[in-house]
């Protein structure tokens, strides 16, 4: 039998993907499946004073939840069967002012059954080129120089690119030290030129979906929605849910967008692992892509005035004199010149990075590039159909979501809430709480965020108050702290937040350039406060030299007031993460508060005020 192909774009790698199955003569849509991009976020709230209405029996939730399935008709089209849990179809509704008490240990520990795992086979560019025929060219690669074709049917496996990593990136820089003019020792992060050249795999290829998927992932899965009333959620013993293949879902929602009071009070011990599923979308069957490095080395730079009459390697440099770069050897020689000038106190530490960056410049349209065309119209599989859930991106995934002015969520003392993704990537992390659009959250519990796969709270145009304990980065792991954004966003700490620095071996592989754990990020004109008698500790457990750092509050277009205590380090555990650096990058040392002042709104008022204490431990 002939094998028919359909192109798909892989969500995580960005690769073009080819869907295929054996030709069966079944007619269907002529569209083809393509794996699309991904996003994410999450949600939750709680409270009420109405009469408690007991459940008719202890069974309230479904015994099991299943995503939608499809059948294929004789004409090749697919039909989604009615019985499923997607699109909120099996959510319980609290919408009559009543209060429901739900104990997850009392016959309300459902199963989540999903087998939405697609069978994909990867085809390299070489393998795709071998599918070309005289009548049908599937893959064409042409190399252009100065906007003219130099080579037709070129081979392409990788390209040479250049990059300027963050100067605080410990993997791409080294450290120098020298005596400054005052006789003191200064240190500076300098570039390692061997880490600036990048051989970039173009990641062009095709994943082949070999058969019609008949089961969707979970999508818009909600167990309980409160729109008028309250849900009291409890569980004395830990409930551990593993939900494979799930997108865009909040399990418990307090939704006051209809104007009624909607509350969730959670004293439960609930751990949820959210699985992943690729996003598929429909495409035309034709793809064209220009592949070109982002940067190149300058042919030369002009000597800065700070180098006038400076001698290095028996050469006396003059202002404006041409210094050849051209290749990595030239770049390394230029780097050593700048380092020598810094150590001789001829060049300031802050100017080093500026002058080095002149040697790595943007490419232009006249620089070489590859034009790649993938045309699978003649190979497309017309029989595969996709549901909305199959096509959706990862989206928001949270245990709790809270939305609307009268929506509240209370995480009670004794609760144990943990959301995480099963992916080894913080890009797809899940959230304990997603609060937005006027809602409010109060957190009384002790909550631990143990690594980058989960985040406690994302607060957008809503309020969040912590009176309990947030422990972020236990065991020196990489984490993502709480976030508050939007002009109506307000975050208040009235308890304790502890953020630890992290071991670089525990970094998020999808964001390995990130060097610090941040307890709270304030952005989008939001505001935050560390209240009176509240405390934020930064790196209390310490970290070894050259490891990651920690920050209490990072302000990016927002305001922060400290009325309590902020403590950096401790008196007993050395906080040695990061590096000493005369450029004072906020990522190279642990700090209580950091701020970015770029792109501030002209009419907005921003303030960072310390009415409390910010102290540094003896080992901080």
Digit-coded pLDDT (tens) for 165-208: 877 677 778 889 999 999 999 888 899 998 888 877 666 676 77
Residue 350 corresponds to which tokens in the numbers above?
């802050």
Residue bearing the bigger pLDDT, 403 or 205: 403
Buried b or exposed e, range 603-619, using 16+ CB within 10 angstroms: eeebeeeeebebebbee
Total residues belonging to the chain:
620
What is the CB-side half-sphere exposure of residue 137 using CA atoms within 13 A? 9
Residue bearing the bigger pLDDT, 600 or 104: 104
Model confidence at 261: pLDDT above 50: yes
SS3 annotation, 208-244:
EECCCCCECCEECCCCEEECCEEEEEECCCCEEEEEC
How confident is the model at residue 202, as a pLDDT?
Answer: 61
Digit-coded pLDDT (tens) for 18-42: 333 322 233 333 333 333 323 222 2
d(CA 415, CA 44): 15
Helices and strands per DSSP (H, E), number in the chain: 4, 54
Mean pLDDT of the chain: 86
Tokens 């809430």 locate to: 417
Model confidence at 457: pLDDT above 90: yes
Average pLDDT over residues 510-514: 86
- 395-403/430-436 β-pairing: parallel
Digit-coded pLDDT (tens) for 524-582: 999 999 999 999 999 999 999 889 999 999 999 999 999 999 999 998 998 988 766 55
Tokens 């609760």 locate to: 415
Average pLDDT over residues 387-403: 95
Contact at 8 Å (CB) between 250 and 399? yes
Q: Which of 84, 168, 155 is nearest to 516 (CA)?
A: 168
Residue bearing the bigger pLDDT, 80 or 519: 519
Contact at 8 Å (CB) between 61 and 223? yes
How confident is the model at residue 199, as a pLDDT?
Answer: 79
Full-prediction pTM beyond 0.85? no
Digit-coded pLDDT (tens) for 424-453: 999 999 999 999 999 999 999 999 999 999
Residue 206 corresponds to which tokens in the numbers above?
């095709």
Tokens 């490419």 locate to: 363
In percent, how much of the chain has pLDDT > 70? 85
How confident is the model at residue 50, as a pLDDT?
Answer: 38
Q: Which helix (H) or strand (E) holds 441?
A: strand 440-443
| Contact residues for 275 (Cβ-Cβ < 8 A; gap 6+) | 114, 242, 243, 244, 245, 246, 421, 422
Digit-coded pLDDT (tens) for 350-384: 899 999 999 999 999 899 999 988 876 666 667 78
- 516-530/549-562 β-pairing: parallel
Beta bridge partners of 596: 556
Q: Which of 526, 513, 619, 514 is nearest to 568 (CA)?
A: 619
d(CA 302, CA 310): 14
């Amino acid at each position: 039998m002939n094998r028919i192909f359909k192109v798909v774009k892989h969500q995580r790698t960005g690769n073009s993907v080819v869907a295929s199955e054996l030709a069966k003569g079944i007619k269907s849509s002529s569209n083809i499946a393509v794996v699309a991009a991904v996003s994410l976020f999450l949600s939750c709230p709680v409270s009420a004073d109405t009469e408690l209405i007991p459940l008719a029996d202890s069974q309230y939730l479904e015994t099991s939840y299943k995503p939608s399935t499809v059948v294929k008709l004789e004409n090749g089209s697919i039909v989604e069967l009615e019985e499923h849990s997607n699109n909120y179809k099996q959510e319980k509704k609290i919408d009559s002012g009543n209060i429901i008490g739900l104990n997850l240990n009392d016959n309300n520990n459902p199963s989540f059954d999903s087998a939405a795992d697609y069978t994909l086979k990867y085809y390299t560019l070489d393998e795709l080129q071998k599918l070309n025929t005289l009548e049908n060219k599937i893959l064409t690669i042409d190399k252009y120089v100065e906007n003219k074709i130099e080579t037709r049917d070129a081979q392409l496996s990788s390209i040479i690119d250049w990059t300027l990593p963050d100067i605080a990136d410990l993997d791409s820089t080294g450290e120098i030290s020298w005596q400054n003019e005052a006789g003191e020792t200064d240190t500076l992060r300098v570039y390692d030129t061997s880490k600036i050249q990048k051989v970039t795999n173009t990641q062009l290829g095709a994943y082949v979906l070999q058969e019609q998927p008949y089961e969707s992932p979970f999508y818009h899965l909600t167990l309980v929605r409160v729109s008028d009333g309250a849900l009291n959620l409890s569980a004395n013993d830990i409930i551990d849910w593993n939900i494979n293949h799930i997108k865009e879902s909040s399990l418990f929602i307090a939704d006051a967008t209809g104007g009624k009071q909607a509350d969730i009070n959670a004293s439960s011990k609930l751990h949820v692992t959210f699985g992943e599923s690729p996003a598929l979308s429909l495409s035309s069957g034709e793809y064209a892509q220009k592949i070109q490095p982002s940067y190149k080395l300058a042919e030369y730079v002009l000597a800065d005035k700070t180098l006038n009459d400076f001698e290095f390697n028996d050469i006396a440099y003059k202002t404006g004199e041409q210094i050849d770069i051209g290749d990595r050897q030239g770049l390394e020689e230029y780097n050593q010149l700048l380092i020598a000038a810094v150590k001789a106190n001829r060049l300031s530490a802050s100017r080093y990075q500026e002058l080095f960056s002149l040697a790595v410049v943007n490419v232009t349209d006249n620089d070489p590039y590859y034009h790649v065309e993938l045309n699978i119209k003649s190979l497309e599989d017309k029989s595969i159909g996709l549901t909305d859930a199959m096509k959706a991106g990862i989206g928001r995934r949270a245990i709790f979501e809270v939305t609307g002015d009268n929506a509240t969520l209370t995480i009670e003392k004794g609760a144990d809430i943990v959301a995480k993704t099963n992916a080894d990537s913080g890009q797809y992390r899940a959230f304990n709480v997603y609060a937005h659009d006027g809602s409010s959250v109060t957190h009384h519990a002790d909550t631990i965020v143990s690594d980058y796969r989960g985040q406690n709270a994302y607060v957008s145009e809503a309020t969040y108050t912590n009176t309990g304990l947030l422990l972020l980065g236990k065991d020196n792991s990489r984490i993502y702290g709480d976030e508050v954004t939007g002009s109506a966003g307000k975050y208040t700490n009235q308890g304790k937040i502890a953020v630890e620095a992290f071991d670089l071996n525990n970094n998020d592989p999808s964001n390995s350039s990130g060097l610090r754990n941040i307890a709270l990020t304030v952005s989008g004109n939001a505001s935050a406060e560390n209240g009176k008698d509240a405390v934020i500790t930064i790196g209390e457990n310490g970290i070894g030299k050259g490891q990651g750092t920690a920050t209490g509050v990072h302000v990016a277009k927002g305001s922060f007031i400290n009325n309590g205590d902020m403590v950096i380090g401790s008196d007993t555990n050395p906080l040695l993460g990061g590096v000493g650096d005369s450029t004072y990058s906020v990522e190279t040392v642990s700090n209580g508060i950091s701020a970015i002042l770029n792109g501030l709104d002209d009419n907005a008022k921003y303030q960072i005020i310390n009415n409390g204490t910010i102290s540094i431990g003896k080992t901080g």
